[in-house]
Amino acid sequence: MQKNLTARLAGLVLAVLFGWQGVAAQSLTMPPSGDNKKASVSEGIGITDVTIHYSRPAVRGREGKIWGQLVPYGFTDLGFGPRKPAPWRAGANENTTITFSDDVKVEGKDLPAGTYGLHMAVEAESCTVIFSRNHTSWGSYFYEEAEDALRVTVKPVKTEQSQEWLKYEFTDQTPNSAVISLAWEKLRIPFKVEVDVHKVVLASMRRQLRNEPGFTWEGLNTAATYCLNNNINLEEALTWSEQSISMPYVGQANFFTLSTKAQLLELLGRGQEADATMKLALEKGDVMQIHGYGRQLMSRKKYKEALDVFLMNAKRNNGAWPSNAGLARGYAGVGDNKKALKYAKMALDQAPDHNNKSALESMIKNLEEGKTVN
């Protein structure tokens, strides 16, 4: 009898903690305990994935009774498990978890890649956001401070509009950061996540180049071009570039590989080598590739060099599209609007589609009015 009573009491405790359905039908798929919706949200920062899995409690008419009441302030004894003061589970039901595929900074502090239990100790004017190495427990009942990987303190933000169902969202995005906010009732709890995108991408490229991409000129050139476009890691990028051109059975000396090498050499201050390599690249380029290189020079405000490239392109390809459009931009770049207008009108007659026609019509209008077009 004592054994049966003990079993019934244990069942009662589990029912209170996890919901009657989890005890009575634990082998069946049922709605979540307390109708707290399961959810996940994910976003990339560079190539780093950040994913949050959580359950969404609702306000259910308890506005004004959430913070400091339903969600106790600070650390409290939750009445189960080790009975140590514990933070809020930052959601409902099981652990709220957050996963980073690469190392990140949270509020400026380092946090290694991995999956963490996400907890919060909320106060009226501040909130301690806790990333625990234990991410498999139920709620915060078994929270142990010794398992903390990181704690940061942030300031909660009061809102005018009430959020019925708790949610996490990404805001204030930049190429290397985002703010993650928990929003519920009339409060938001934000924390900033930053990624050293270039460091992560370089590490990823080095790993990938030890496999199939490293046995193709395209993979090697892509890695070199990333460094070129971001003006980083130039010496290693030059090695990748040279491999994309001359590695046995892999390398190809084409417009793409040679022009990448030429631009890297220029950034490294090796001007004569850069000019010689770019000359080889242009000899292998088609009309669109040469035009694209001219546009690159224009974007770098190298207008005379760009015009020389556009002139060469028009001569080699007998004025084929889009060489006259290039001459229009080139002459405008060096201040000869009369010739720019001439070639813009010639290019308009050649334009292959509506978008190019519209762009040239706008260019012609600006040139006629004496306005800049570059």
In-domain check, residue 15: no
Residue 236 and residue 93 in one domain: no
In-domain check, residue 117: yes
Residue 38 and residue 68 in one domain: yes
Quick one: which of 159, 297, 85, 187 has its CA closest to 312? Answer: 297
Residue 114 and residue 73 in one domain: yes
In-domain check, residue 157: yes
In-domain check, residue 187: yes
Average of pLDDT values for 15-36? Answer: 64
In-domain check, residue 338: yes
Residue 206 and residue 169 in one domain: no
Average of pLDDT values for 103-107? Answer: 98
Mark 13-40 as b/e (b = at least 16 C-beta within 10 Å).
eeeebbbeebbeeeeeeeebbeebbeee
pLDDT at 2 over 60: no
Burial class (CB in 10 A: 0-12, 13-18, 19+), 204: middle
Query: How many domains are there within the chain?
Result: 2
Q: Which of 143, 164, 195 is the last residue of a domain?
A: 195
Residue 128 and residue 234 in one domain: no
Residue 90 and residue 217 in one domain: no
Quick one: which of 164, 189, 165, 166 has its CA closest to 179? Answer: 189
One-letter amino acid for residue 314 of the chain? A
Q: Which of 169, 195, 221 is the last residue of a domain?
A: 195
Model confidence at 132, in pLDDT bands (50, 70, 90)? very high
Quick one: which of 348, 359, 305 has its CA closest to 324? Answer: 348
Model confidence at 26, in pLDDT bands (50, 70, 90)? low
In-domain check, residue 47: yes
Residue 259 and residue 363 in one domain: yes
In-domain check, residue 5: no
One-letter amino acid for residue 318 of the chain? N
Residue 284 and residue 332 in one domain: yes
In-domain check, residue 20: no
Residue 121 near residue 127 (C-beta atoms within 8 A) = yes
Residue 102 and residue 206 in one domain: no
pLDDT at 9 over 70: no
Domain that holds residue 49: 32-195
Model confidence at 223, in pLDDT bands (50, 70, 90)? very high
For β-strands 177-194 and 104-106, DSSP reports them as antiparallel
